[in-house]
Amino acid sequence: MTMGKNFDAIIIGAGSVGTPAAIGLAKYGLKVLVIDSNPSPGQGQNKAAIGGIRATFSDPGKIEVCRHSLKILSTWKETHGDDVGWVKGGYLFPVYEEELEKNLKDLLVIQRRHGLNIDWIEPDQVGELVPGINRENLRGGTYSPDDGNVSPLRAINALYRRAMEIGAVFHFNETVTGIRVESGKIAGVTTDKDTYDAPVLLIAAGARARDVAAMAGIEVPVFPDMHEAGITEAVEKFFDPLVVDLRKGPGSANFYFYQNYWHKIVFCLTPDPPIYGRCRHNTSQYLPQVSRRLIEVLPRLKNIRVRRTWRGLYPMTPDGKPIVDRVREIEGLYLAVGLCGQGLMLGPGLAVNMASLIVKGEPIVDGEVFREFTFYRSYQGQVEMLK
């Protein structure tokens, strides 16, 4: 059902940010249109997500925003009735190197200052959390029990249904071909099917963010790189946390895995150097590469059967932080892009803050913290440690 061609706000992208942003804006009473070229919500990078939800970061902005995301997703079933596959398994960063131990212990000060429930644990505790983990040179690790994971498919569809319930309109299989700017203000968009008017436009276009923003004459430094993931058969549940090994390996900067809601092992790694582009095809190199890392850390997985692998895109910024801001040059234009492969976990928290920014002029979290995400930063300096 349509509501005419005039809206209070238009969102480009029905993914991890755009869909919950529609909820946030509709809650404020705005008439919202979400446009996506895909046939249903979350068909961009959301469906390639592995499902982890954490507030365990090194940057205060991400910590604060993801605390909102955790609250939203962990209570979704009791609040709205939908089972999004939430598992409160925590995040575990096992440590095998002295330098990494120092860095993570130093980071605890910042993380606790921003309200994280996180601590250093000893090797025996790590072994209790993940039975069979490689104990050779294991020094301990950091553990944040309030983090967890969800089903990306269940979560995005629950968010979509909620947005529809409170009046947001979604147009799928429709591509934005132009952004209309009149007298320095957003006037609306043109698509391959129609023209729509609105004084507010939020770009939440994931891997296509740079192309979409260019329609408004704005250059955003978002460059997708390609990551592969996989999933095994289901086996009896034997560990809860999502495990992140931050050590570098041949061709990889780190890797991570967990046992999901259905007791299957989900795994992914970060290529090193990054592989930039938009190819979504699987490669023959990935499974042997990640298998070696998995078996090294958790030898008991050596005989498990892998059911499938897939490839998704991480819309990266040079410093590993999102761009979430109002565009000063064009009144009514907002950006929520460059989520760096963390859209599922950042999305709900960013969405409520972005809705507040659009309607009230300021986010919910502290403004100084939120300014980490400004479009007008230098994009230089240290990359977020736990990206």
Phi first, then psi: give them for residue 310, nearest 5 degrees.
-155, 170
Provide mean pLDDT across the span 198-211: 98
| 2 pLDDT more than 60 | no
Amino acid occupying residue 382: Q
| 162 pLDDT more than 80 | yes
Phi first, then psi: give them for residue 187, nearest 5 degrees.
-115, -20
CA 329 to CA 289: how far, in whole Å? 46
- Where do runs of H (alpha helix) occur along 298-342? none
Q: What is the pLDDT of residues 47-79, one digit of tens each?
A: 999 999 999 999 999 999 999 999 999 999 999
| 204 pLDDT more than 60 | yes
pLDDT of residue 209: 98
pLDDT of residue 300: 96
Q: Do 147 and 70 form a contact (C-beta atoms < 8 A)?
A: yes
CB atoms within 10 A of CB 22: 32
Q: Which helix (H) or strand (E) holds 198?
A: none
Which of 53, 52, 56 has its CA nearest to residue 116? 56
pLDDT of residue 24: 98
Q: What is the pLDDT of residues 262-299, one digit of tens each?
A: 999 999 999 999 999 999 999 999 999 999 999 999 99
| 20 pLDDT more than 70 | yes
Q: Do 119 and 107 form a contact (C-beta atoms < 8 A)?
A: no
pLDDT of residue 382: 65
CA 174 to CA 35: how far, in whole Å? 6
CA 147 to CA 91: how far, in whole Å? 6
CA 201 to CA 55: how far, in whole Å? 28
| 1 pLDDT more than 50 | no
Which residues, in sequence order, are CB contacts of 365 under 8 Å at separation 6+? Answer: 61, 64, 65, 68, 353
Which residues, in sequence order, are CB contacts of 325 under 8 Å at separation 6+? Answer: 334, 335, 373, 374, 375, 376
* Token digits of residue 243: 């495990």
Q: What is the pLDDT of residues 343-377, one digit of tens each?
A: 999 999 999 999 999 999 999 999 889 999 999 99
Q: What is the pLDDT of residues 89-133, one digit of tens each?
A: 999 999 999 999 999 999 999 999 999 999 999 999 999 999 999
pLDDT level of residue 381 (50, 70, 90 thresholds): confident
Domain architecture of the chain: domains with CATH: 9-50+153-221+319-373 (3.50.50.60), 88-146+223-316 (3.30.9.10)
Amino acid occupying residue 313: L
pLDDT of residue 158: 98
DSSP-derived letter for residue 28 is T
pLDDT of residue 386: 80
Provide mean pLDDT across the span 30-37: 98
Provide mean pLDDT across the span 185-205: 98
